Structure 1
Amino acid sequence: MQYRYLTLLFLPVLLLSCGGGEATRADDMATPEEVMTSAGEPMIEGSGEWTDLLAGDIGDNWHTYGKDAPGAAWKVDDEGALYLDASNKGEHGVVGGGDLVTNESYDNYEFELDWKIGECGNSGIIYNVIEHDTLPYPWLSGPEMQILDNSCHPDAEIVTHRAGDLYDMITGEPENVKPAGEWNSIRLVVKDGYVEHWQNGERIVTYTGEGEPWKAMIAESKFKDYPTFGSSTSGKISLQDHGDPVWFRNIRIRELSSK
């Protein structure tokens, strides 16, 4: 993801400070074992039935952010995959596209999908999104799991901007993304503020999205002037229109125990 910056007069400036500019790595953050042991809780387990977020029409589960229905550029191919038809690009994103967002908000969940990106393409999965008419983009509230062709997109030159990373904040390790045009599987775990990014069967990012360490990470990122960013531990999930062709399949979600 590359962001177009804007001044939001309705938002106060976030006044946080911290030292250092090095990328945060996944192994610098708390592991699930540390989080669960300190809380005296069992390991994360799904407690609900999986919900297929591609069942029925696109609009049954998704709409374009800030609108009532999905844009016409979001389509389903002959194999049942959701994709962004990027043949008609606008100044920002695709004409008739826009960022998709779930119709429902979620709290404590597992989210899974497969994705593939076009050559040198860029997209993302933004989560814990607060959809509000004062927030014109999902990224103003939700953190992002990056989708990228690491081989040739210029964002890959930045170590926290590669596929699977917590965008601009934590480097995913190991770097295990498959080439453009091939399917990658991801799993996103969100539980009581604790988050895991899984990519192609490996856990590559862990963090806790609240408290002083989280605020310090935001203060070091490009989101430091947007106080709504990362402010919620629940919300909607968004699939980003970055103007490049991207495909999604096997999209599903289920509840996690809040114990």
Structure 2
Amino acid sequence: MKNIKNRLSICLALAVFAGCNSGQTTENNQQDTTATANGTDGWIFLFDGKSTAGWHTYLKDTVSAAWTAQDGELRFNPDVTTEQRGDIVTDNEYENFELELEWKISAGGNSGVIFGIHEDPKFNATYLTGIEMQVLDNIDAEDNKQENHLAGTLYDLIGSKEISQPKAVGEWNQARVRKQDGLITLWLNGVQTAEVKVGSSEWNEVLKASKFKDWEGFAQYAKGKIALQDHGNVVAYRNIRIKAL
């Protein structure tokens, strides 16, 4: 019975996504066109709007079946076997950069944008080395009890409910990550949600208070890959672009 309920929940989430997209056909078609080429002023698109080129599932050679490119969106569908799931990461590594993207989460959903990832078999998950900007339905997701776990926060490190203001489920949110010489700054929908410099006294304080305080590889790599997280919920990303700083 539990499996049947889970499958019904996933189907409902996918139906909500489809319904939200129905009124955005023209907008998505316009975005698809711009996503097929590199942007201006140093911006490079990490997602071409029609394929998963430039990405692979963490510690694998290709992108798993759960991630698909459709209607200008990079979508995750958890309704596949575990072997066909997993976080996807960029083929390339980045050190000083500005990253922009849009995300849309399902009801009760959870995901994340993780950066500074050192892809190595001794680390079996992206979050063991990478730092995360949280993607969340603040209202109904299970992981909404701590303020620094809400949408747009620097996960388990910095954030508050006052500045975490995601749009309603089914609407697109604009996320921005800047990392330069260890200084990390996050924005969600134009509002700055976190800023801290890795290695500073403030960083050491928040790190000590977090779950990551004793993790050997966490935030230890200045240069790394960027991931979109499989947290078991339907999620979509689009207009993913990066600029070297």
Query: Do the two structures share a fold, i.e. TM-score over 0.5?
Result: yes
CA contact (8 A) 2:102 2:240 kept: yes
Question: 5+ residue gaps in structure 1?
Answer: 1-46
**Among 150, 163, 170, the residue aligned to 2:158:** 170
Q: Name the amino acid aligned to 1:196.
A: T
Determine if the alignment matches structure 1 residue 83 to structure 2 residue 71.
no
- After TM superposition, the structure 1 = structure 2 runs for residues 114-153 of structure 1, keeping only pairs within 5 Å, are 114-153=102-141
CA apart distance, 1:224: 1.7
**Among 178, 190, 201, the residue aligned to 1:201:** 190
Distance 1:58 1:129, change over 3 A: farther
Determine if the alignment matches structure 1 residue 50 to structure 2 residue 39.
no
Secondary structure of the residue that 2:138 maps to in structure 1? coil
CA apart distance, 1:227: 1.9
Secondary structure of the residue that 1:218 maps to in structure 2? helix
Instruction: Write out per-residue CA displacement over residues 134-188 of structure 1, whole angstroms, 9 at most, x where no aligned residue.
Output: 0000111111000000011121111111000111111145221111111000110
Counterpart-to-counterpart distance in 2, 1:115 and 1:65: 20
Pick which of 215-224 and 107-116 moved more. 215-224
CA contact (8 A) 1:89 1:243 kept: no
Counterpart-to-counterpart distance in 2, 1:89 and 1:123: 18
**Among 54, 63, 80, the residue aligned to 1:61:** 54
Q: How much is the aligned-residue C-alpha RMSD, in angstroms? A: 1.7
Q: Name the amino acid aligned to 1:210.
A: G
- Aligned pairs, number: 205
Distance 1:58 1:226, change over 3 A: farther
CA apart distance, 1:60: 2.3
Residue in 1 that maps onto 2:89: 101
Instruction: Write out per-residue CA displacement over residues 6-49 of structure 1, whole angstroms, 9 at most, x where no aligned residue.
Output: xxxxxxxxxxxxxxxxxxxxxxxxxxxxxxxxxxxxxxxxx951
Counterpart-to-counterpart distance in 2, 1:214 and 1:170: 9
Q: Name the amino acid aligned to 1:52.
A: F
CA apart distance, 1:200: 0.5
Residue in 1 that maps onto 2:3: none
Distance 1:56 1:249, change over 3 A: closer
Output the TM-score relative to the length of structure 1. 0.75
Secondary structure of the residue that 1:60 maps to in structure 2? coil
Question: 5+ residue gaps in structure 2?
Answer: 1-39
CA contact (8 A) 2:158 2:194 kept: yes
Counterpart-to-counterpart distance in 2, 1:210 and 1:130: 18
Secondary structure of the residue that 2:216 maps to in structure 1? coil
CA contact (8 A) 2:100 2:239 kept: yes
Residue in 2 that maps onto 1:237: 226
Output the TM-score relative to the length of structure 2. 0.79
Q: Could you say which structure has the greater relative contact order, defined with CA pairs below 8 angstroms and 6 or more residues apart?
A: 1
Pick which of 214-223 and 240-249 moved more. 214-223
